[in-house]
Structure 1
Amino acid sequence: MQKPVVNMWSVLAMRKMMTTICLPIVSASILLLSLLAHATPSITPATTQLRSIGISVSDLGNPYFVKLIDATTAAAERLTHHSVKMYIHSDAYDINRQIQQVNSFIDKGVDLIILTAADEHKIAPVVAKAQRAGIKVVAVDMNAQGADATITTDNVQAGMLACERLAKKIHYRGNFAIINGVSVSSVLERVAGCKSVLKKYPKITLLNDRLNGTGSAEGGMEAMTYLMEKYPHLDAVFSINDPTALGALQASKQANRNEFFLASVDGAQFAIDAIQQDNIWIATAIQRPIIMANKAVEIGIKLLQGQPIPQRFILIPSMLVEKP
């Protein structure tokens, strides 16, 4: 059988034609891959809307926390442009009660938890549990270990402001007492700030700093009654918050004791009114719950959207309100 005659010129022509066809295809494929590589955005988490917030605060009888809750509700609706479901509880400084509340928030599937921790360390496991469920946790007013962000008053500074004012009023000498509170970060820091001021003035004697006024008017009244019974003369008393100071003021008036001056932390309206009208209560270091609430909601929304949070621990400066 005769072998077919291969025309070499035909083969070369065919190869040239295939090369001419294939090269643009390969080049186009490379170009397309290159464009896709540069055009594809980095992968980011899907945007999650803020639909519900669980709030656990220390004391709903304290106007400061009431204002914090009201401001949080207003901020959530303003920033999301829709109604946000709010679950609001008071833990009464009871960590076990607060843990139950946070567990209930998890069961409800809230998007964000805002809390004032009853115990900054013992709250950590349930905070981690919430985060595993995809819930963001923001601590306000008090530290909470493991929280996604923390926003508090500069409590050390607040204690310093109030006690510096008291020290000046008593001419940097005399008998000084502190009505303390529950062992949460905000209280510990205020007392530490106050003591740092007193250490500068050797003629001021700190008689007592251990009484727990429980952060309430009733506790303040009880603590002040004890101080007046134990010490025949007091020159200055620092209270860790306004409700405690109100109780101390009421106790002093019942006992007809007016030889001392009183200062506190919070900036509640009733405290400001009392300072303007009374000669004993001379100052309160203001907290800013509205600013705190706004920042908590803003940060919570950013966290839900997967946006970076440049600052996860925010201190809000305090200011002193005093009689003119």
Structure 2
Amino acid sequence: MSTRSRLVGAIAAALIWGAAGVPALAAEMKVGVTVGSLGNPYYAVTNKGIADAVARLTPRAAISVASADYDLGKQFGQIENFISFGARIIMLNAVDPVAIAPAVAKARRAGITVVGFDVAAQGADVTVMTDNVKAGAEACQYIVDHLPGGKGKVVILNGPPISAIVDRVAGCRKVLSAHPGIDIVSSDQNASASREGGLAKGTGLLTRFPKIDAIFAINDPTAIGMELAARQLHRDEFFITSVDGSPDVAKALRAPGALIRASAAQDPYGMAAKAYALGVGIVHGRKPPSPVVLIEPTLVTSENAATYVPWKTDPSIIEQEGTSP
């Protein structure tokens, strides 16, 4: 069984258990959702995963979704608002995994179940996220494998210091550091995990370095912005890897001459749906076997992109998997 099939089966089990094994939550239950940035299409998919899980488990629940825009103070305020309007579950994509702890503690003291998704959140009841260390390692192992002789100048195009990004960079560094022929010429540029940031920081890096052999971008929007910077400056001597496996990058991977060559794919829909299902279980006294659930990434490359379907969002997949033997 594939990693995705195991994941979807686990989601299905959680959802069907939630529907049949526990009573329905009270009518008009309130759910608060706060994410790093609604400008990132990744979070549109996580939000759909949450919404579909809500429809399955708590169909009369009211959902409030907010964008923190990677601003810790703003996210604190959003959690305060969720507490004030009586949320029963807060779905938290933390801007800072440690600094958010006081807000998480306050919500839990108010009797609210706090569920982290995509990134860690200190003090949350449970967190579901990609194994980001492995995602960074896979993307950077591709770099090692495709540099002639395993040697060259590599850029790590960084992002906001949320746990997912810190872990990806750590995984990448571990792989690259095992190869003395690889020189990491830059790793401190925060491109804000966005296409615009990738373009701006990428332009600066390409102006600074006359030759680069490979770039690891911490997510797909950053990689796309970096590629745009390269096109504008007529630079094509390097290739790019990233993390997400987004529809835009899946398309780029299939295009002849694309600089983006690989991305460690996530399952934002399945991740968020599973996180909400676990949150419902916690509300009803069912403690998860582990406070952190890690989902394995899958490396998508220009060589295997033809068969890759990015970010599936069909809720019928969950039900079909749940009824299979």
Under a length normalisation based on structure 2, what TM-score does the superposition of the two structures give?
A: 0.83
2:151 alignment counterpart: 173
The 8 Å contact of residues 284 and 321 in structure 1, kept in 2 or not, is answered as yes
Provide the secondary structure at the position in 2 that maps to 1:270: helix
1:163 alignment counterpart: 140
Whole-angstrom distance in 2 between the partners of 1:155 and 1:309: 21
Residue 194 of structure 2 is aligned to residue 216 of structure 1: yes
Q: Identify which of 170, 180, 187 aligns with 1:202.
A: 180
Which structure has the bigger radius of gyration? 1
Which deviations, in whole Å up to 9, do the C-alpha atoms of 1:186-245 show, x marking residues without a partner?
111000000111012111111010101010111101111111111110000000001111
Residue 293 of structure 2 is aligned to residue 322 of structure 1: no
Whole-angstrom distance in 1 between the partners of 2:230 and 2:24: 56
Q: What are structure 2's unaligned runs of at least 5 residues? A: 1-22, 304-325
Q: Identify which of 247, 271, 274 aligns with 1:292.
A: 271
What displacement does 1:121 show? 1.5
What displacement does 1:129 show? 1.0
Q: Identify which of 53, 68, 83 aligns with 1:91.
A: 68
The 8 Å contact of residues 49 and 304 in structure 1, kept in 2 or not, is answered as no
What displacement does 1:128 show? 1.0
The 8 Å contact of residues 134 and 297 in structure 2, kept in 1 or not, is answered as yes
Q: Which range is displaced more, 286-295 or 313-322?
A: 286-295
Provide the secondary structure at the position in 1 that maps to 2:39: coil
Alignment of 1:147-162 (within 5 A): 147-162=124-139
Alignment of 1:11-50 (within 5 A): 48-49=25-26
Under a length normalisation based on structure 1, what TM-score does the superposition of the two structures give?
A: 0.84
Residue 51 of structure 2 is aligned to residue 78 of structure 1: no
Residue 288 of structure 2 is aligned to residue 304 of structure 1: no
Q: Which range is displaced more, 90-99 or 297-306?
A: 297-306
1:225 alignment counterpart: 203
Whole-angstrom distance in 1 between the partners of 2:153 and 2:172: 14
What displacement does 1:122 show? 1.5
The 8 Å contact of residues 36 and 68 in structure 2, kept in 1 or not, is answered as yes
Whole-angstrom distance in 2 between the partners of 1:233 and 1:308: 52
Q: CA RMSD in A?
A: 1.5
2:83 alignment counterpart: 106
Q: What are structure 1's unaligned runs of at least 5 residues? A: 1-45
Whole-angstrom distance in 2 between the partners of 1:279 and 1:109: 49
1:193 alignment counterpart: 171
The 8 Å contact of residues 24 and 57 in structure 2, kept in 1 or not, is answered as no
Residue 93 of structure 2 is aligned to residue 116 of structure 1: yes
| Runs of 4+ that moved beyond 3 A | 46-50
Residue 117 of structure 2 is aligned to residue 140 of structure 1: yes
Which deviations, in whole Å up to 9, do the C-alpha atoms of 1:3-29 show, x marking residues without a partner?
xxxxxxxxxxxxxxxxxxxxxxxxxxx
Whole-angstrom distance in 2 between the partners of 1:309 and 1:191: 28
What displacement does 1:110 show? 1.0
Which deviations, in whole Å up to 9, do the C-alpha atoms of 1:102-123 show, x marking residues without a partner?
0000011011001111111221
The 8 Å contact of residues 153 and 185 in structure 2, kept in 1 or not, is answered as yes
Residue 213 of structure 2 is aligned to residue 235 of structure 1: yes
What one-letter code is carried by the residue in structure 1 that aligns with 2:198?
Answer: G
The 8 Å contact of residues 47 and 306 in structure 1, kept in 2 or not, is answered as no
What displacement does 1:70 show? 0.8
Q: Identify which of 236, 240, 258 aligns with 1:279.
A: 258
2:233 alignment counterpart: 255
What displacement does 1:48 show? 4.7
1:4 alignment counterpart: none
Which deviations, in whole Å up to 9, do the C-alpha atoms of 1:277-300 show, x marking residues without a partner?
143110111111122112111111
Higher relative contact order (CA closer than 8 Å, sequence separation 6+)? 2
What one-letter code is carried by the residue in structure 1 that aligns with 2:114?
Answer: V
Whole-angstrom distance in 2 between the partners of 1:227 and 1:249: 12
What displacement does 1:83 show? 3.0
1:25 alignment counterpart: none
Tell me the matched-pair count.
279
